[in-house]
Structure 1
Amino acid sequence: MTLGRVPRQGDLLRSTVEFCAGRVGVDSIYGVLHRDCFGLFPDEMFADLFTDVGRRSVPPMIVAVVMVLQRIEGLSDREAVERFAFDARWKYAAGGLDFDYPGFVHTVLVDMRARLARSDRPDRIFDAVLEVARAAGLVGRKRVLDSTPLYDAVATMDTITLIRSAIRGLLAVVSAGLAGELRARVSSGDDYASTAKPVIDWDDETAREQLIDSRTRDGLAMLAVLDGLDLDEAVDKAARLLATVVGQDITTGEDGIFRIVRGTAADRVISTVDPETRHGRKTQARGFDGYKGHIAIDPDSEIITATEVTPANSGDAEVAPGLLADILPAEAEAEAEARVFGDAAYGAGELLKLLDDNGIHNGVKVQPASSVKGHFSKDRFEIDLDRAVVRCPAGHTAPIRPRKGQPSTIGAAAFGAACGGCPLRQQCTSAAAGRTIGIGAHEKHLLPARARRRDPAWRAEYRATRPKVERKIGHLMRRRHGGRRARVRGKVKTAADFSLLAAAVNLARLAVLGIGSTTAQLTPTTA
């Protein structure tokens, strides 16, 4: 398929320009797209996605505009192409096309997303909008980080449904001959043709145990057949999924019966339809299934500078370096100091070290030291890393000694006998051996971070800056945009969709700020 191009010369009598010019606000996303779509998303920007031979594609600039508007209005593919066909504002936003400009089928949007995903620059639409903000001076060296739940687009499966679905998926991708060999190993009598659960008396514990045991044996028997075979990618992926769902939930009793294990595996697969989705927690009392959407924003302009999507059980600090890539490493000759803010979820030692090593102002909140059983918390002890000693509230000191078998820590300070006749013992410890203070590998960075929390100036800046990212997440998760429910399956597709939403919200923000782009330079818009 070759690159299609947008017509630049419209029909004066049929153009949407005269009709929409006085009706569409200049500070709306339709207005900014109309003025700047040729500069933001020129057809040439997508040239690498197409070949030199074949029929002409729908002009990529038009498709990009439709994708942005589709995302900000939370529409399906069919709804989006219908809106483009009949809503004059959409054709106006796509450069002022004629009223009767032909529409296109919804699979064009599917095809464009697939082409972008396979390319070297899958997030080029987001990058193009962000570059406009950078050129306008709206992206400085401050960053605020946060994450938000993205509920998955699939149903969470129980153990028996997971196993049967994984077996069914394996049978679907193997060759006919191998499928016959696998089915010959089935001892339960289940044909694995239906998605419905087998009909049993679910109130009968013995019947439930027999169901779990028999389907587990079927799965293990199939995996035994595949063991040692040279499998293609699809079969290998299906076999690994079956092994995972069997291994994560099932244990063997002393009687040799397979039963569901108590508790939940740390990285439990919860759906064979989307194996990358996970159980997650927003708080101790509130859980969710799906992914986490991570963003970094410039708090002064409220422009989103980076996005990322991870499984719901991942930690926020894990992706922080990627979100801060545009200010790392810190530039010594930069006019403004880089500053990073985040809540306690980002207060991990690795991130604190990264910021400190790069000379970046650390506005990341750190959890206070915990107080076990009401005893003195760790921050009541004076830790001197230079002298490798710890001083307790009663004035006793203990040396920091390495701990065997724990290379990830510096060591520990054990007060031992000093606690025996200490008048503060009841407030400090109930351990017979006395109080021990563990010193982590990143203690050097955690100590000043905890001290900063007590600085009124630091707290004032934190409270004035960090809440801005909460407002931006509120903009992203509006029901108009589709809410928190993921519209696609899989981490890669969800990440691309989240990036596109961020691009649309950024573009709407640029429209409000009166910033536009032309093919030559940035120019502020006027009413």
Structure 2
Amino acid sequence: MSMQPKGSGEIPAETVRVARAAFPKGSLAIRVRDELGVLFTDEQFAGLFAMRGKPAWSPGRLALVLVLQFVEGLTDRQAAEAVRARIDWKYALALELADPGFDFSVLSEFRDRLVSADGGRPVLDGILAAAREKGLLSRGGKARTDSTHVLSAARDLNWLELVGESLRAALNAVARTEPDWLSAHALPDWFTHYSTRIEDSRFPKAQAKRAEVGRRIGRDGMRLLEMIWTDDAPLALRALPEVELLRQLWIQQFHLVEGEVERRDPKDRPPGAERLVTPYDIEARGSVKRDTFWDGFKVHLTETCEPGTVHLVMNVTTTAATVPDDRMAAVVHAGLAERDLLPGEHWVDTGYANAGALAAAQRDHGIALHGPLKSVTVPHARGEAAYGQDAFTIDWDNQNVTCPNGVTSTQWHQRRSEDGLPAIRVRFSPADCRTCPQLRACVNSPKAQRREINLKPREEYEALQQARKLQRTDEWKDRYKIRAGVEGTISQAVQACGLRRSRYRGLAKTSLQHQLTGAAINLIRINAWLTGQPHARTRTSPLAALRPAA
């Protein structure tokens, strides 16, 4: 298809007349068009279409349809029907009343094109640009960020279902590609065990019998892979995605023990960031956060939170479920910098706040990152302890540390932590420490003969100390209450737009869904702001209201 822009974007006079009569008080679609103007132009999406071919339906209008679809929680069929039948949508899209719209399949095809455009980020950018021009958004000020889990579009599978369904998917792919070859090589039992979905099978309840079923599936999968990698097997079979997934999964889950296929022990399996959890979404990963276990992804939402202004989602980032929050502050700041929407203060929870993030935010972007720091759990390293790190004097220039008793360290080494981050290891001489009467109060291990201290680089260490000092004040604790509002944003995105369940398979399409969700939340909030709806107040139960003051 090719893109051939048509029209000036001006709303037809008849559409205006009928819309004003039908909606005398306006509607979200009408109000957004009147106040924000044309949000998307065809030229913004020119790179997604070829120069020649059948003319495509206006991509600028399709982008707005996708956002309105998420605003109202519509399916593709319902959204296409709304374009044909609803006057307020025709007004927002600047269409003639007689315009027949498009087939619903056009939306799916357009989303596939948007996936290649940085996961649909241009759609969210279009809303932000219009809000900025209207004076509803500016750089600086305050922002807040939080994350939540996102369930994969594929249903959760237990271990037997995972390996069984992966083998069934591979067999079906081989049957479609080389039916004659598979008929000649398939074992008779395969047609019994893998002709129907594994979830329809009745697995035995006894653990020993279930383990035997798992070994049988493992043997069958190993046999299929060996057959495919023989010299006389068609080479096309090795390139099938289902076969490649089966190969990877069998490496992760099985191994040979004295010639027999056995399941790997948990410690012998790959980490969660690499472990496959379903054959139908190879990018979904299993993760856990406190009491929540899920297979899928994770999304980070960043919004403005200046009092007395409309709170808009400025950045949306989707990652694999296993990516920890403590790596995301820099990613969020980079996204805000590209939009020229860096805040002066950024409020986050404990997951994002660490020494490296605090120092990098200030150094690279001039942002004051605020978030509760994780407490020190090692008794002798706690700041308030008699021999905690705060009791030692650090001479950064001369690279030594002096203990409270006046003894100076003898070793200062640049190292890397277990996570590969820069660190400094300081050691005192055993000759000095062994004779110290306070040795046992100073060291953690009963067998240790000297004190060792692990330090972060100077910039990070000083940022950490300054943050800990600030966070002990009542003023900071009171200001930190502003972060709680982002929980309401996540709740709104979950309830209004289905944020917590991916509509599509794969990280790229899930990221597109979240960009559209952010854009939809912004339109909902801009509409509420224009109609004078105040921000919702935090709900307090009658019982909580009676709580005595501390």
Contact 2:284-2:506 within 8 A present in 1 as well? yes
**Unpaired segments of 5 or more residues in structure 1?**
516-527
The CA deviation at 1:85 is 3.5
Distance 1:171 1:376, change over 3 A: same
Stretch deviating more after TM superposition (154-163 or 202-211) = 202-211
* Alignment match, 2:271: 266
| Aligned match of 1:343 | 349
Q: Alignment partner of 1:102: what SS?
A: coil
How far apart in 2 are the matches of 1:175 and 1:383?
71
Query: Which whole-Å deviations, capped at 9, do the CAs of 1:425-475 have from their partners, x for residues lacking one?
Result: 257524311464442554640443243232238725751543343333233
Distance apart, 1:198 and its partner CA:
8.2
Opposite residue 317 of structure 1, the aligned amino acid is D
Matches within 5 A, 1:34-73: 34-37=34-37, 39-73=38-72
1:110 aligns with 2:108: yes
* 1:295 counterpart SS class: strand
Q: What is the aligned residue count?
A: 505
> CA 1:9–1:72 in 2, change beyond 3 Å: closer, same or farther?
closer
Q: Following the alignment from structure 2 to structure 1, what is the Cα–Cα distance between the partners of residues 334 and 281?
A: 29
Q: Distance in 1 between matches of 2:457 and 2:376?
A: 17
The letter of the residue matching 1:266 is: P
Counterpart Cα distance in 1 of 2:510 and 2:354: 26
Letter in 1 for 2:466: A
Counterpart position of 1:377: 382
Aligned partners of 1:251 and 1:259 also within 8 Å: yes
Aligned to 1:170: 170
Partner of 1:433: 448
Q: How do 1:435-454 and structure 2 match up within 5 A?
A: 436-442=451-457, 444-454=459-469
- Could you say what secondary structure the match of 1:307 adopts? strand
User: Residue 91 of structure 1: CA displacement?
Assistant: 2.5
Maintained 8 Å contact 2:359/2:463: no
Deviation per residue, 1:112-154 (Å, 9 max, x gap):
1112223478422211111123334522135433212222222
Pair 1:240 & 2:244 matched: yes
Q: Which amino acid aligns with 1:459?
A: W
Q: For 1:337 and 1:209, locate their aligned partners in 2 and report how far apart those are by CA, in whole Å.
A: 55
Aligned residue for 1:313? 322
1:287 maps to: 293
TM-score between both structures, scaled by the size of structure 1: 0.81
Contact persistence 1:149–1:312 (CA under 8 A): yes
Question: Is the Cα–Cα contact under 8 Å of residues 342 and 364 in structure 1 kept in the other structure?
Answer: yes
Q: How far off its partner does 1:326 sit?
A: 5.2
Which moved further from structure 2: 270-279 or 468-477? 468-477
TM-score normalised by L of structure 2: 0.78
Task: Give how far 1:202 is off.
Answer: 0.9
Kindly report the root-mean-square deviation, in angstroms, between the aligned alpha carbons of the 2 structures: 3.9
1:414 and 1:194 map into 2 onto residues whose CA distance is 67
Distance 1:401 1:291 in 2: 41
> Letter of the aligned partner of 2:103 in structure 1?
V
Alignment of 1:99-498 (within 5 A): 100-119=98-117, 122-137=120-135, 138-142=137-141, 143-174=143-174, 189-191=189-191, 192-196=194-198, 202-227=204-229, 235=239, 237-250=241-254, 256-259=260-263, 261-262=265-266, 265-267=270-272, 268-282=275-289, 284-300=290-306, 301=309, 302-325=311-334, 328=337, 338-358=344-364, 360-365=366-371, 367-372=373-378, 374-377=379-382, 380-381=388-389, 382=392, 384=394, 385-392=396-403, 396-402=407-413, 408-414=422-428, 416=430, 418=433, 421-423=436-438, 425-426=440-441, 428-434=443-449, 436-442=451-457, 444-455=459-470, 456=473, 459-460=476-477, 462-477=479-494, 479-498=495-514
The residue type equivalent to 2:399 in the other structure is: A
Contact 1:188 1:215 in 2 (8 A): no
Partner SS state of residue 351, structure 1: helix
Measure, in 1, the Cα distance between the counterparts of 2:44 and 2:237. Answer: 33
TM-aligned CA distance change 1:459 to 1:329, over 3 Å: farther
Contact kept, 8 Å, 2:162 with 2:278, in 1: the verdict is yes
Provide Cα deviations, 1:39-75, integer angstroms capped at 9, x if missing partner. Answer: 2122333344344554443333432222111101222
Cα deviation code 1:229-283 (max 9, x no counterpart): 896799254343213322333355578451353477532321111121122233x
Change (3 A) 1:95 1:190: same
Residue-by-residue CA offset, 1:402-436 (whole Å, 9 max, x unaligned): 38896753224356462665347257524311464
Long gaps (5+) in structure 2: 532-550
Change (3 A) 1:366 1:262: same
How far, CA to CA, are the matches of 1:303 and 1:420 in structure 2? 62
Q: Deviation at 1:378?
A: 6.1
> What is the DSSP-based 3-state SS (H/G/I as helix, E as strand, rest coil) of the residue aligned with 1:293?
strand
Q: Counterpart of 2:536?
A: none
Structure 2 CA distance for partners of 1:180 and 1:469, relative to 1, 3 Å: same
Indicate the SS of the match to 1:433: coil
Deviation at 1:292, TM superposition (A): 0.8
Q: Answer whether contact 1:34 1:96 (CA < 8 A) is retained.
A: no
Describe the superposition over 1:165-189 as per-residue Cα deviations: whole angstroms up to 9, x where unpaired: 3233334445867666567666682
